Amino acid sequence: MPERDLAAEFRAGNVRGLARAITLVERRDPAVRRLLAELGQPRPPVVGFTGAPGTGKSTLVDALIRHWRALGRKVAVIAVDPNSPYSGGAILGDRIRMQGHALDPGVYIRSMGARGHLGGLSLATREAVRLLGAFGFDEVVLETVGVGQSELEVAAVADTTVVVMAPGLGDGVQMIKAGILEIADVLVVNKADLAGAQRAAQELRTMLNLAPRTEWKPPIVMTVALSGEGMDELEQALARHRHYLEGSGEGRRRMQARLREEAADLVGQWAREAALRLLEADGELGRLADESPYVAAEQILSRLGTGGERAEARA
């Protein structure tokens, strides 16, 4: 790959520079850290959207982008789709439902595969969010399919997590099973014009009433994303949650928890890389691991602790 002056491309507002930088994030290329140090790291607010496939997340996000654009805000979307567990390949199709903003320079959409991120998806998305902020985006949306654990990783990055549901995709038991109610700051029942929407909302309300009382009670918003119905209510709910985060100190607490989590994630990632290098380079260590991975791991940790490997781990 040719060396590019990404910082200059950022300052010139060249989208290709931003796109390449996010690729570097996905590849865990240390050049990104130098770039962010040079650009500063403003962190725009992040709204996460998650829910089962086909609930209308992308269409909702499309409608939300329209609202923000009308206010003159620049919006970036990171849309995460699953990768094939067998080939590692992916079909990333979220752009299809976000065509309303094609060629609008104030909107950037980036598709990401959920797997294959060393150090986890949240590490990659956190850095991507910083890059988007440095590029000048005011709002960031993080969209992910709620089929596994990736939505939990994303909730760890978002300031406000919106869980999207649609009627006909299972009853309330599915919702507590998925554990997804615990991460929701705002609940959306989309496709509210379909039969069963009121019942889905009622079941959600029941579930929420059973949940432990907290200061913030997730509102349930009914929407029809295709027609734009309920979008005002959704935007108000998002604004109220942002206001709550700021007023209650919860935003600060979450931010602090996130940064500490990120520091721990980075240690995990760097240590893993260094350990793999050590195991490759040191035959004796490798044989030790063949016998007992635990013993080998302890030895690796103690060697990392002396600092000799630390510089290498960061390289």
Partner 1 sequence: MATRAAPPRPVRIVLAKVGLDGHDRGVKVVARALRDAGYEVIYTGLRQTPAMVVDAALQEDAQAIGLSLHSGAHMTLIPAVLEELRRRQATDILVFAGGIIPDEDIAELKRMGVAEIFTPGAPLQGIVEWLRERFPEVES
Interface residue list for partner 1 (CB under 8 A): 15-16, 19-20, 22-23, 26-29, 83-84, 86-93, 95-96, 99, 102-103, 108-111, 113, 116, 118, 273, 276-277, 280
**Crossing angle of the two packed helices 250-281 and 231-248, in degrees rounded to 10:** 90
Least distance from partner 1 to the Cβ atom of residue 300, Å: 13
Least distance from partner 1 to the Cβ atom of residue 232, Å: 28
Tokens, residue 173: 């038991």
Give whichever of 163 and 270 is closer to partner 1, judged by the CB atom. 270
Give whichever of 23 and 299 is closer to partner 1, judged by the CB atom. 23
Are residues 47 and 139 in contact, defined by beta-carbon separation less than 8 angstroms? Answer: yes
Give whichever of 113 and 230 is closer to partner 1, judged by the CB atom. 113
Give whichever of 253 and 314 is closer to partner 1, judged by the CB atom. 314
Which element (helix H / strand E) includes 111?
strand 107-113
Least distance from partner 1 to the Cβ atom of residue 245, Å: 29
Tokens, residue 12: 């010139």
State the Cα–Cα distance between residues 238 and 68, nearest whole angstrom: 12
Among 180, 189, 242, 240, residue whose Cα is nearest residue 211: 180
Give whichever of 102 and 195 is closer to partner 1, judged by the CB atom. 102
In order of 62, 91, 125, 285, the CA distances from 58 in angstroms are 6, 15, 18, 48
Least distance from partner 1 to the Cβ atom of residue 86, Å: 8
Least distance from partner 1 to the Cβ atom of residue 129, Å: 16
